[in-house]
Structure 1
Amino acid sequence: MIWVAGLLGVLLGLGSGTLSAQEADALVTTDKPPEVQCQPDVGCVTNLPLPRFVSLKGSEGNARRGPGLTHRIDWVFTRAGMPLKITAEYENWRRVEDSEGAGGWVHYSLLSGVRTVLVTLDMAELRDGPDDTAPVVAQAEMGVVGRILECRPHWCRVSLDGTRGWIRTTAVWGVKEGESVE
């Protein structure tokens, strides 16, 4: 340690090149980045809320057992635009899960901030307005993925296969109850 500190002293022009053990420790410890303190329900990397919803950017994404390419692939998402819930962050990796709870660690580059929903109710009604008395403009089959245009508490305006309408949040997965999306 003294030899390393002495070499640092010479390189930094600190005189004779001999530092005390305390001075050497001070040099070593001051170069460390401050530890990141994670808050509950907030991602340590992005400072965005956890959990939060995103979508799969491409048509395929590997979910790994851990955050890194050396970890084995446990699951492969194969549906572009599929909504996913981020539950944790580590460096460039996000732990995600689908509507059934399957998932793993995915590289952030495979995810998009575009919000989508998965219809979870068979023949879910899309209405002309965010009201149960508004006329039905279409019905959606279970498993259809659509893009969120706007959400108010209890209702989301979505685009499903080109058809736009309002759908109850209880009929979809990909938005928190009471969440507003603009």
Structure 2
Amino acid sequence: MERQELIELYKKGQRYFGRFDLRSMDLSNVDLSGADFTNALMNSCLIGANLAGADLTGVSFAKASLVYANLTKAILRKANLYFASFRCADLTGADLRGANLENTELVQANLSGSDLRGANLVGTKLIGSNLTGCDLRETNLRGVNLCDANLSQANLEGVSLRGMYFCNTIMPDGSIRNDNC
């Protein structure tokens, strides 16, 4: 499938694109809000794409670029986001339960109110990110860089804070942690 064909199908009202192979397709600045990409392969360029409210359950975004993308209230359960870049992306209220975000770049991303229960964030860069009110229960945060991040009111129940990088990090209780400055 070509980019223009996908856009035309979307414009005509089609919302289901599950299991499609969209690898290497440049979907930068395309509005695909509310679409269903369940289990699709999307190792592509999605810079500035609008995927608000999209169902991306089980999607592979490994090594994809989603810089400045809008993923508000998107469903990314069990998605593979390994080594993807979400720099300055908006993931407000997103459902990332059980997702693999290992070594993902979420620098200056907005994850406020998102659900990351059981996600793998090993080695993820969350520098300057907003994690206000996030549910991080049972999340693997080993080696995560949280410098300048805001974790106000985040739920860290069952999370080990060992091996994480803190510098000017706002913790759930409002205190500031500077272990690695």
| TM-score when normalising by structure 2 | 0.21
| Larger Rg, first or second structure (1 or 2) | 1
Richer in strand (by share): 1
| TM-score when normalising by structure 1 | 0.20
